[in-house]
Amino acid sequence: MNTLDPVVLFFVLGVLAGLMRSDLRLPSAIYDFVTMLLLLAIGLKGGVELSRQPLVELAPQMLAVVAMGLLLPLLAYPVLHYLGRLQRADAASIAAHYGSVSVGTYAVVAAYLTSQSIPFEEYMPVFVVMLEVPAIVVGIVIARGWAAQHQWGHLAREIFLGKGVVLLTGGLLIGWIAGADGVLPIKALFFDLFKGILALFLLEMGLITVSQLGDLRRSGLFLVGFAVVFPMVAALIGGSLGWVLGLTEGGTVVLATLAASASYIAVPAAMRMAVPEANPSLSLAAALGVTFPFNILLGIPLYHAAVRLILPDGA
């Protein structure tokens, strides 16, 4: 059951090439393009599913997921600040990264479940969007406090108009408006090619992961440990929430993985502007250098096995 998906092997290739200092590099315009396609494809898929069922039915689940997005950084912060002795700004920024989600990790867990023919709630991309933002707000409030933050308007722009949120939400809306039949003409690009695009994306992610290793060496063992242990705790919370919400086996694995993942698109951009004194190389080294590879190589199969233990009948 635990066979490595070929897309994950592309990630491994990227890591190996990076470690051996190959001159391999995805041109940055291509990386941008590949990221755009992934975000849009994920949004479209979720939107099409939304068009099949009333949004009202999902409202309680959405609220619960947002609550989780607020809770995770509040859990992460004290660990980082008191146990890890990180400065307030750094701890708040890292907490925001871990409370938010990684779309790349979502794409991998979706591919993992699909390749094993395990169904999951196709509206999950809605949760991805809902989980992006709350943690950013919590992180900023921890670092700055409510009162001191006089530029919320400016920040809201930064947060909601970042490409990640715009493309995901845009894809969702387009999929929702167009419906299953409406998206047929663009299916070839966004859905049929999805895995190939994901493979290219992961190749570059492998290279990026290796480029974080230098920073990781400087950041100390505590952060490395945090970047492995916290996602597992978060996955437990996400998985339990999925169980409480009555999600399918696949859906529970997705929610656990979303909780475990750490953002590297929306949050770094927002934190850089809102909490500039936080060292961005700490949070990126943890999120990209440790947590992303951990989740896609070991985490997802692990969370899946754990969910199987809880739901032995496959629910």
Q: Does 308 bind another protein (CB under 8 A)?
A: no
Is the Cβ of residue 124 or residue 140 nearer to another protein in the bound state? 140
Q: Choose between 111 and 269: whose C-beta lies nearer to another protein.
A: 269
Closest contact distance (angstroms) between CB of 287 and another protein is 11
Contact between 208 and another protein by CB under 8 A: the answer reads: yes
What is the token pair recorded at 88?
A: 């307030």
Q: Does 101 bind another protein (CB under 8 A)?
A: no
Element (H, E) at 82: none
Shortest reach from residue 153's CB to another protein, in Å? 15
Q: In the 8-state DSSP scheme, what is residue 313?
A: T
Contact 230, 76 (CB under 8 A): yes
Phi-psi region of 85 (alpha: psi -120 to 50; beta: other; left: phi over 0): left
**Any contact of residue 293 with another protein (CB under 8 A)?**
no
Does 207 contact another protein by CB under 8 A?
yes
| Residue with smaller CB distance to another protein, 71 or 284 | 284
- The window from 107-115, 119-127, 233-241, 260-268 that contacts another protein (CB under 8 A) reads 260-268
Q: Which stretch binds another protein (CB under 8 A): 38-46, 103-111, 237-245, 266-274?
A: 266-274
Considering only the stretches 128-136, 234-242, 245-253, 268-276, report the one whose residues sit in contact with another protein under the rule CB under 8 A: 268-276
Query: C-alpha angle with apex 179: 175 to 180, nearest 5 degrees?
Result: 105
Q: How many residues bind another protein (CB under 8 A)?
A: 21
Euclidean distance between CA atoms 35 and 33, whole angstroms: 5
Site for another protein in 4-33 (CB under 8 A): 25, 28, 31-32
Taking CB under 8 A as the binding criterion, the range among 168-176, 187-195, 231-239, 272-280 that sits at the site for another protein is 272-280
Compare residues 15 and 307 and give the one whose CB is closer to another protein: 15
The secondary structure of 98-155 as a DSSP string is HHS--HHHHHHHHHHHHHTT----TTHHHHHHHHHTHHHHHHHHHHH-TTT---HHHH
Write b or e for each residue in 181-214: b if 16 or more Cβ atoms lie within 10 A of its Cβ, otherwise e: eebeeeeeebeeebbebbbbbbbbbbbbbbebee
Report how far residue 78's alpha carbon sits from residue 73's, in angstroms, rounded to the nearest whole number: 9
Residue 66 or residue 273: which is nearer to another protein going by CB?
Answer: 273
Binding of residue 215 to another protein (CB under 8 A): yes
Q: How far is the CB of 68 from another protein (least distance, A)?
A: 26
Whole-number Å distance between alpha carbons of 209 and 13: 12
> Could you list the residues that contact another protein (CB under 8 A)?
25, 28, 31-32, 204, 207-208, 211, 214-215, 264-265, 268-269, 272-273, 276-277, 280-281, 284
